[in-house]
Structure 1
Amino acid sequence: MRIIFFIVFFGIFFAINYYVFIRGLRALPAESNVRYAYSVVFWILALAFIGGRFLENHLPSPVSEALIWGGSFWIAAAIYFLMAVIGLDFLRLINHFFPFLPSAVTENYPRAKQFTFMVITGIVALVLISGHVNSLRPKITSLTLSVPKKTARLQKLNIVVVSDVHMGTIVGRSRLDRIVEKINRMDADLVLLPGDIVDEDIRPVIRQNLGESLRNIKSRLGVYAVTGNHEYLGGVEAACAYLKEHNVVLLRDEWLKIADSIYLVGREDRFINRLGNTRRKSLSELMACVDKTYPVILMDHQPFDLEEAAAQSVDLYISGHTHAGQLWPFNYIVRQIYEVP
């Protein structure tokens, strides 16, 4: 199943890149060194992420790290370039049947294409830079919630939730340390990590000793996590073993009663049904022994089936996965796919 997933993913990836490449090539002057330079730079960037991951697995170095960084930016750039060329092709199609483009464009078509190429490239570059700067400043959202259920000891609980850290090559030691510092400043009773803690391969995490940063998280009642799809993509057992070694309690279709006051339920990520050797438990099966007269917190990486959770007397449903769309216009798309974008 994993092989089929990657074949489909890379098939789509190469198709997008080839389409963008051809449309960009046609915008440049024919029989010029510019086209040659464009071709070389384009395919270096397009293949950078794959090449970087391959080198990282076999010969990690600053080169592999640079390729992964460049390739990560390119994936976002390719999406925006794709939207741009589709939009331009749509305008060309309309103009073919209902001419509306001004003569300044139609009579100087080669120059118009070159100008458009430069403008789009500049806009995409600015969007990527601003997006990266924004990602370095994670926003903290504070919520005050009341649960009308009994507790034996706790009357209030300060919970800090940090999802989709994706620690590895991109989120390395310095960036992870800053995240941990933010967590510790919030004086948490409980820290919850609802999946995608590791960005696929565990080896960059081990090389940078990122687990020591996790050990530094301060929480009176502990640090708890569930698996996400990225743990499965990179090897879930190795990732979970590493997290457990560094004071993170994994709840894999399990529950715990914390401080004799609340139940914390953690679901295995639904990717287990695709890439695992078994299937995850149903929520009703998982909740069978939970005393629902107490507050119940459920962690499930992907936000689906909220009505089922409500029917099982879950009071607080915590998830991640969507990144709120991460890139425009995917913020609108995830609202249609997920119940909690």
Structure 2
Amino acid sequence: MVYLYSVLCCLFLFPYFAWRGGQALGRRGRKCLWGVLATTFGLFVVALMTHRMIQADWMSHVMNGSVYVFFSSMYAAGVVVLINLLRHIDNRLFGFYTYAPLWKKKRVRQGAFVLTLVVFVACLFVGHYNVRYPQVIHQDLYLTRLTKPGEQSTKRLRLVFFSDLHIGEAMTPPYVERAVDLILEQKPDLILCGGDFIDHLSEYAYDPRVMKTMRRLRAPMGTYFVLGNHEYRADTLANIRFVSEIGATLLRDSVAYPQDSLLALVGRDDFVNEGRKSIEAVTQGVDPARRPVLLMEHTPASIDSIDRTPVDLMLCGHTHGGQIWPGQLMVWWKYGIASGEKEVAGRRICVSSGVGSAGATYRMGTRSEIRVYDLYW
């Protein structure tokens, strides 16, 4: 859907750029600008109409490109609006531009055009980089409740948590391979996936290249998944089956005890499933006296209820850290956190911005990540 929105919005943005940009360029430059924008828009329209029929890596790049151009155009349009606002203020209060010689006005318009172009190109590269090169965030978590006063921790466990891979049109097999390589480089004892591992259509996940890569997700204590809202969008049964096909374990309102009950791992179904169990029901019967208790839930909607559970660490995804600025503000308003960590009633809450992205491989104001926790008790 984001592809459709990007093309429709560019239908209005491109003429605006051509009009404003044409004021700074000569006749030949104006024609060239119109030609570039018209050609780009035509290419995106053709791709939008045919991309469902052509499932190929090059088509994914074209579709990604349409969204790259759209979001970068939005930021560039912000620069143009700001420049015109400053010009209006100058006209009312100062007159530096209004009464300047024509040659100076021309130089100012050309400078504004160059600045807008620089912002556009910079946003293309930054948006791409923030997705394609995830950061690895290492954190230590000492479970003092399981360690007697004055004694040192005797157990250590390394888990890698990732979410929101969104295998699909945007997240192509080479990127999936890069993400899996990064996860395995951390030498985890336990691998956890917080949902939205498939974006929309399961055909992309069942690509032989993707299947081969995802089957490499192995850890001594196992690999566990929970479902996210995107797994319920289409082909839900195929998306559920995908987890077992790659050799992982799916937790749906259930508890697992890896490595002879060294820890309790609780996996809750996503809020899209209105019939899922309450957080109290899912964690009922879990004995926290001798082991850490971890909870995976895709959407961080249950944070305020965590104090009614024996959970030590809650792992969530879904937010993408806002993905596109200023989306962070809207996510924070809804959940009280866009990404990162917080404590609630002595419990550690982690909301990951995710290792992939939805709609297109574009992020602004946030970055893809995987989380590495070393637990000590």
Alpha-carbon distance in structure 1 between the residues aligned to 2:298 and 2:277 = 14
Structure 1 residues 74 and 326 mapped into 2: Cα distance closer, same or farther (>3 Å)?
A: same
The residue type equivalent to 1:162 in the other structure is F
1:1-341 equivalences under 5 Å are 13=6, 16-29=9-22, 33-34=31-32, 36-44=34-42, 47=45, 51-52=47-48, 55-61=50-56, 63-92=58-87, 94-95=89-90, 97-99=92-94, 102-103=97-98, 107=102, 112-113=108-109, 115-149=111-145, 155-258=155-258, 259-270=260-271, 272=272, 278-293=274-289, 294-331=291-328, 334-340=331-337, 341=339
Query: How big is each residue's C-alpha offset from its partner over 1:25-71, in whole Å with a ceiling of 9 and x where there is no partner?
Result: 221338852354144135246647xx35x534323245523322312
1:13 deviation in Å? 4.9
SS in 1 for 2:39: helix
Structure 1 residues 202 and 84 mapped into 2: Cα distance closer, same or farther (>3 Å)?
A: farther
The residue type equivalent to 1:123 in the other structure is V
In structure 2, runs of 5+ residues without a counterpart are 148-153, 340-377
* Kept in 2: contact 1:225–1:251 (CA 8 A): yes
* Kept in 2: contact 1:27–1:114 (CA 8 A): no
Let me know the Cα RMSD of the aligned residues: 3.3
Match of 2:356 in 1: none
The residue type equivalent to 1:267 in the other structure is R
1:296 deviation in Å? 1.8
1:223 deviation in Å? 0.9
Alpha-carbon distance in structure 2 between the residues aligned to 1:298 and 1:292 = 12
In structure 1, runs of 5+ residues without a counterpart are 1-5
* Kept in 2: contact 1:306–1:339 (CA 8 A): no
Query: How big is each residue's C-alpha offset from its partner over 1:248-300, in whole Å with a ceiling of 9 and x where there is no partner?
Result: 22222332233313222222223x16xxxx44332223223433444221112
Identity percentage over the alignment? 24
1:141 deviation in Å? 1.2
Structure 1 residues 326 and 11 mapped into 2: Cα distance closer, same or farther (>3 Å)?
A: closer
1:188 deviation in Å? 1.4
Alpha-carbon distance in structure 1 between the residues aligned to 2:229 and 2:22 = 44
Alpha-carbon distance in structure 2 between the residues aligned to 1:15 and 1:106 = 39
Alpha-carbon distance in structure 2 between the residues aligned to 1:45 and 1:314 = 51
Q: Number of aligned residue pairs: give it.
A: 324
> More displaced, 165-174 or 87-96?
87-96
Alpha-carbon distance in structure 1 between the residues aligned to 2:233 and 2:82 = 33
Structure 1 residues 119 and 129 mapped into 2: Cα distance closer, same or farther (>3 Å)?
A: same
> More displaced, 192-201 or 329-338?
329-338
Alpha-carbon distance in structure 2 between the residues aligned to 1:45 and 1:229 = 32
Alpha-carbon distance in structure 1 between the residues aligned to 2:135 and 2:109 = 40
SS in 2 for 1:74: helix
1:235 deviation in Å? 3.6
Alpha-carbon distance in structure 1 between the residues aligned to 2:7 and 2:32 = 23
**TM-score normalised per structure 1:** 0.79
Structure 1 residues 66 and 140 mapped into 2: Cα distance closer, same or farther (>3 Å)?
A: closer
1:103 deviation in Å? 4.0
Structure 1 residues 118 and 237 mapped into 2: Cα distance closer, same or farther (>3 Å)?
A: farther
Query: How big is each residue's C-alpha offset from its partner over 1:201-238, in whole Å with a ceiling of 9 and x where there is no partner?
Result: 22123234312211112201111112223333444332
* Kept in 1: contact 2:226–2:297 (CA 8 A): yes
Query: How big is each residue's C-alpha offset from its partner over 1:114-172, in whole Å with a ceiling of 9 and x where there is no partner?
Result: 54233212222123224423543322111111224559xx9322111122222234433
The residue type equivalent to 1:156 in the other structure is R
Alpha-carbon distance in structure 1 between the residues aligned to 2:77 and 2:211 = 38
1:175 deviation in Å? 2.8
**TM-score normalised per structure 2:** 0.72
SS in 2 for 1:40: helix
* Kept in 2: contact 1:304–1:339 (CA 8 A): no
Alpha-carbon distance in structure 2 between the residues aligned to 1:290 and 1:141 = 29
The residue type equivalent to 1:303 in the other structure is P
Alpha-carbon distance in structure 2 between the residues aligned to 1:70 and 1:166 = 17
> More displaced, 320-329 or 98-107?
98-107
Alpha-carbon distance in structure 2 between the residues aligned to 1:14 and 1:191 = 38
Alpha-carbon distance in structure 1 between the residues aligned to 2:242 and 2:177 = 18
More strand by share: 2
Structure 1 residues 88 and 336 mapped into 2: Cα distance closer, same or farther (>3 Å)?
A: farther
RCO higher in 1 or 2 (8 Å CA, sep ≥ 6)? 2
The residue type equivalent to 1:194 in the other structure is G
Structure 1 residues 66 and 185 mapped into 2: Cα distance closer, same or farther (>3 Å)?
A: closer
